[in-house]
Structure 1
C-alpha cells in the first residue's frame, strides 16, 4: 500500500499512526504543496491523505483510512479504548490557535512538500487568506503560546498513560497525538510532564516523527 501525504498535515499523521501502531508496512509518498493534478487524478479533488490500496484503488479521508486499516489488517482492531469528551473539547480549543503558530513555521522545517519556492508561495498565499500574513501570525507568538499552554495544563491530568491517553488505544489517540505533534515545531512552547511523556512515547509507537529538533 501507498499513503500520499504532506509531512505537516495532522490528518495525514492520523493515517500514518495506524500503520505504525499495527506494524503494517506502507510506502509514504509526499505531494508538493502546489501539486493539484496528482490528488485530483486519484480522487477528483486536492486532498490528503490518500491511501492507495493493494488493489490499486484510492481512499481519502483520514479516519476512513484508519478504520479500514485497523479492521482489515493485523490480528484484530487495536482502537478499542474509551473516548473522553474532555479531551475532545481540549483538542477543539487548541485548534483555535495552533494554525497561526504552526503554519508560518512549517515552511522553515525542510519538509518535502515545500521543496520548491512555488510550493511555498502557494501555501503562504492560501493560508494568508484565512489567517492573515505569516509575519502577523509570528508577531502573535507570545499570546498564542500562552493560550495553548493553558489548554495543555488542562490536558495534562487527563492523560492516563504515555502509551494511550485514556489508558487503552482509541480514536482519541488518533485525534490528539497529531495536534500535539505539530505543536512541537514551536520552540517557545513547553509541554507539561505527562503530555511530553505521551507525545514522545506515541511518536515512537506510531513511527511518526516530531519536530522538536528543528523547532522555530
Structure 2
C-alpha cells in the first residue's frame, strides 16, 4: 500500500494521521512538487494525497482517510467530533495571512518535495499568484501576519485534547490539526498554551512531526 504525499500539505497530513493512528502498514512516498506526471498516471489530476492499494488509486484526502480507517486496526477508534467547523471558521478569517507566512517557508525548511530548484520554482510561481506578491515581500511582512494569526489563535473555541477522551483521535483532529501543525514552521509565532498542548498531543498520538525545530 502506497501513500503519495507532500510533507507540507495539510490535506496529505490528514491521510498520514489516520494511517499512523490506525496502524496501517503503508509506505509513504514523497513526490517532487513539480512531478505532475506521476499524479496524472495515478488518478488523472495533479493533486495529493493519493492512496494506491491493491492496484487501485484514489484521491480526495477525507475519502482516503475514511478508507484507511476501514483498513486499519479496528480497536483504534476515531471519534465523531463535530466542532471542527467552528475552529476552522476562525482560522479561515486569517487565511491570507496564513498563506503569506507558510508559502515562502515551505520551500526553505528542507522538505522532500522541494529538494530540487525546479520544484521550488514551480511552487513559488504558483503560490505567488495566489497571494499576489513575491515570497520576499511576504517574508518582509512576517510580523504583520504573525500578529493577525496570533489574534485568531487567541479566539479559537476550546480544543478537545486526546487525553480528555482516553487518548483517541477524532475526525475534528483530522481537520484541525494539519492547519495548526503547519503554523509551527513560523518562528516567533506564539501559540496559546491550550493550542500548544493540543498540537503536542495530536502530534504524538498520530506520529506526525511538527516544524518547531525547522521554524524560520
Match of 2:161 in 1: 161
Match of 1:83 in 2: 82
Query: Where does the alignment leave 5 or more consecutive residues of structure 2 unmatched?
Result: none
Match of 2:146 in 1: 145
Q: How does 1:61-76 map to 2 (within 5 A)?
A: 61-75=60-74
Query: Where does the alignment leave 5 or more consecutive residues of structure 1 unmatched?
Result: none
2:14 aligned counterpart, secondary structure? helix
Match of 1:135 in 2: 136
Contact 2:34 2:123 (8 Å CA) reproduced: yes
1:78 to 1:96, Cα distance in 2 relative to 1, 3 A: farther
Match of 1:8 in 2: 8
Match of 1:17 in 2: 17
Contact 1:70 1:76 (8 Å CA) reproduced: no
Instruction: Give TM-score, length-normalised by structure 2.
Output: 0.92
- RMSD after superposition: 1.8
1:144 aligned counterpart, secondary structure? helix
Give me the whole-angstrom Cα distance separating, in 1, the residues matched to 2:176 and 2:57. Answer: 26
Match of 2:174 in 1: 174
Give me the whole-angstrom Cα distance separating, in 2, the residues matched to 1:116 and 1:137. Answer: 22
Contact 2:21 2:76 (8 Å CA) reproduced: no
1:9 to 1:163, Cα distance in 2 relative to 1, 3 A: farther
How many equivalent pairs are there? 213
Instruction: Give TM-score, length-normalised by structure 1.
Output: 0.92
1:175 shift after superposition: 0.9
Contact 1:159 1:194 (8 Å CA) reproduced: yes
Match of 1:210 in 2: 210
1:150 shift after superposition: 1.0
Give me the whole-angstrom Cα distance separating, in 2, the residues matched to 1:138 and 1:31. Answer: 26
Contact 1:6 1:113 (8 Å CA) reproduced: yes
Give me the whole-angstrom Cα distance separating, in 2, the residues matched to 1:19 and 1:164. Answer: 22
Contact 1:39 1:45 (8 Å CA) reproduced: yes
